Amino acid sequence: MTSSGDIAELLRLYFIQQRSVNLPGIGGFELSRIPARVDNATGTIKAPYYSIRYDSLSDIPSKEMFAFISRKKNISEWEAIGVVNNFSMAVSDQLKRGQRYEWTGIGSLEHNGTGQLEFEPVTTQFGFLSDLSVSVQTGSDTEIAADPFEEEKTVEAKASWWVTAAVIAAVALVMIFFSFIRNEYKLTGSRESRFVPSVAPVQNETKLAD
pLDDT tens digits for range 163-198: 566 667 666 676 766 665 665 545 445 444 433 444
pLDDT-derived band at 141, boundaries 50, 70, 90: very low
Residues 7, 13: Cα–Cα separation, whole Å = 10
| 3-57 pLDDT, tens digit each | 788 999 999 999 999 999 999 999 999 998 888 888 888 878 877 778 899 999 9
State whether 127 and 169 are in the same domain: no
Q: What is the pTM of this model?
A: 0.56
Q: How many CB atoms lie within 10 A of CB 52?
A: 21
Residue 17: inside a domain: yes
Residue 204: inside a domain: no
Burial (Cβ within 10 Å: 0-12, 13-18, ≥19) of residue 19: middle
Domains of the chain: total: 2
Residue type for 138, please? T
∠ at Cα 40 (34, 42), nearest 5°? 95
State whether 154 and 123 are in the same domain: no
Buried b / exposed e over 87-126, threshold 16 CB at 10 Å, is: bbeebbeebeeeeebebeebbebeeeeeeeeebebeebee
Residue ranges making up the domain that contains 59: 4-133
State whether 128 and 154 are in the same domain: no
Q: What share of the chain is helix, strand, coil (3-state, %, to 5)?
A: 50, 20, 30
State whether 116 and 51 are in the same domain: yes
pLDDT-derived band at 132, boundaries 50, 70, 90: low
Residue 143: inside a domain: no
State whether 123 and 28 are in the same domain: yes
State whether 16 and 81 are in the same domain: yes
State whether 119 and 65 are in the same domain: yes
Beta-bridge partners for 31: 52
Task: Tell how far CA 28 is from the center of its chain.
Answer: 27
State whether 34 and 116 are in the same domain: yes
The answer to whether the CB of 109 falls within 8 A of the CB of 26 is yes
Residue 49: inside a domain: yes
